[in-house]
Amino acid sequence: MYRWNESVLRMDCGGVHVRHWTIDPKRPLLVRYFSVANRGGGRTEWTVNCDEPWRRPPDVDGPPRDGGWGEWGEWERCTKSCGGGTGVRSRRCDSPRPNVSGRPCAGPVTAVGACNRHECGQVSDKTAAAVRRSLAGRPHNAVAEVGDRLTLWCDQTTVDAIRADSPRARFSWLRNGKIVTSTVVDDKNDSCALVISSCTVHNSGVYAFVAEPPNSDRIVLKLFAVAINDKPIFVYIGDVVRVQCNAATLSYLFNRLSQEWLVNDSYVIKNYGVNSLASIDVDTITIENIHFQGIWKCVVKSTEINSSWVTNAMEIKVIGLSTGWTHIMQDPIIKILFQNSSPTMIISICTILISALCVGTWCCAYIFNRWRKQIMKKTSKGIQIKNGIHKRVPYQQL
């Protein structure tokens, strides 16, 4: 037994003082503790300063704790690789582990039964379970700019496992459920990749690398959520922005998904909660204040597998309050003419246009006035006044 205070560490064994150490307050104290446990079968286990749950010193003085069996492991040493065979699986008495005074688990540690009952040429349950584990808790997100080159890689280990079960399986990339044709295969390394040479906003979405065994459903091997950020969108407070999440494909793979739009990874501008992603994929969001400025991201979360995906991104810049002038600027023709111009440039262009209109009006008025005078002058030559009476004199030919 150890006893200590701020300056002395004392060790007793069976109530008899064995040794003590004086602690220097200026130097750290290093303590090692050992424990010995007989695990049965002639095996003795020593542990030293171990904090892992399965290597902690055995509980020798606590209340009795009986053991409980954990889940059965996978089938091993199966007599056939497909079509049904016989194998062995085992389990551990660790849910919980019994202490010294508790009772061990009752029942066999191993069991013999049927294994690899899947049809030959199809993917086994063991491989399918391994694929599901690889997807859970390991989301892959890629955010790129328009014009960037983007490469999405598959997991070669998973591909090899699928090919071992189903040599005739076909592999492909999907974007939002549709096959992508620009897949690059490296025959030298027997690896595959999806290469997007020049990203556009249309490349945003959910990408899935899938295997398709003969006469069987597709199996998703890897998922990527790709968000392509385009040029900033300039808006005013009060404007309505149309958004699209591109995440509907995820709802066909996972249950109870939630969706939200975030600004700068922190400010939630719209939270849909657990919902049908297909019904909320396209929506409109009203710019309420200046805090809506920044990088907008559509985030889909799954509490079931502890994962989240960013399926779309866009940059929003809030110029200011919406006014009558800003409504005029929303006209499609006006927007095309002035969409890339600064306010100073717009004022200068308007001044030039108004000045040109005034000059043009003056020129037209001047030309019209001269034309009117010429007409009146020609008319007056053919009229004589006699005794106060205007009389038209016909023109005489020379």
Q: Residue 14 is part of which domain span? A: 2-48
Residues 310, 313, 314, CA angle at the centre, nearest 5°? Answer: 165
CA distances from 313 to 115, 145, 180, 208, 316 (A): 46, 10, 21, 19, 10
List pLDDT tens digits, range 133-172.
Answer: 888 767 788 888 899 999 888 888 888 899 988 999 999 8
DSSP 8-state secondary structure symbol assigned to residue 76: B
Residue 293 shares a structural domain with residue 333: no
Residue 182 resides in a domain? yes
Q: Mean of the per-residue pLDDT values for the chain?
A: 79
Residues 341, 343, 346, CA angle at the centre, nearest 5°? Answer: 65
Residue 127 shares a structural domain with residue 226: yes
**Which of 179, 213, 230 finishes a domain?**
230
Q: Residue 186: its pLDDT value, please?
A: 44
| Contact residues for 208 (Cβ-Cβ < 8 A; gap 6+) | 173, 174, 220, 221, 222, 223, 224, 249, 253
Mean pLDDT on 226-233: 87
**Which of 204, 230, 256 finishes a domain?**
230
> 253 in helix, strand or coil?
coil
pLDDT band at 389 (very low <50, low <70, confident <90, very high): low
The domain total for the chain is 5
Q: Residue 20: its pLDDT value, please?
A: 67
Q: pTM here?
A: 0.58
Residue 396 has pLDDT above 50, yes or no: no
> 380 in helix, strand or coil?
helix
Q: Residue 321: its pLDDT value, please?
A: 75
Q: Residue 101: its pLDDT value, please?
A: 79
Q: Terminus-to-terminus CA distance in the chain, angstroms?
A: 148
Residue 250, exposed/middle/buried by CB under 10 A (0-12, 13-18, 19+)? buried
Q: Phi and psi for 256 in degrees, rounded to 5?
A: 50, 60
Residue 59 resides in a domain? no
List pLDDT tens digits, range 70-104.
Answer: 999 988 999 998 899 999 999 999 898 888 778 88
CATH of the domain at 96: 2.20.100.10
Quote the percentage of the chain above a pLDDT of 90.
Answer: 17
Residue 270 shares a structural domain with residue 346: no
Residue 189 shares a structural domain with residue 238: no
Residue 127 shares a structural domain with residue 175: yes
List pLDDT tens digits, range 235-292.
Answer: 888 889 999 998 888 888 888 899 999 999 888 999 999 888 888 999 999 998 888 9
Mean pLDDT on 118-122: 89
List pLDDT tens digits, range 280-309.
Answer: 999 999 998 888 999 999 999 988 878 888
Residue 36 resides in a domain? yes
Residue 19 has pLDDT above 90, yes or no: no
Residue 160 resides in a domain? yes
CA dihedral 350, 351, 354, 358 (to 10 degrees): -170
pLDDT band at 341 (very low <50, low <70, confident <90, very high): low
pLDDT band at 188 (very low <50, low <70, confident <90, very high): very low
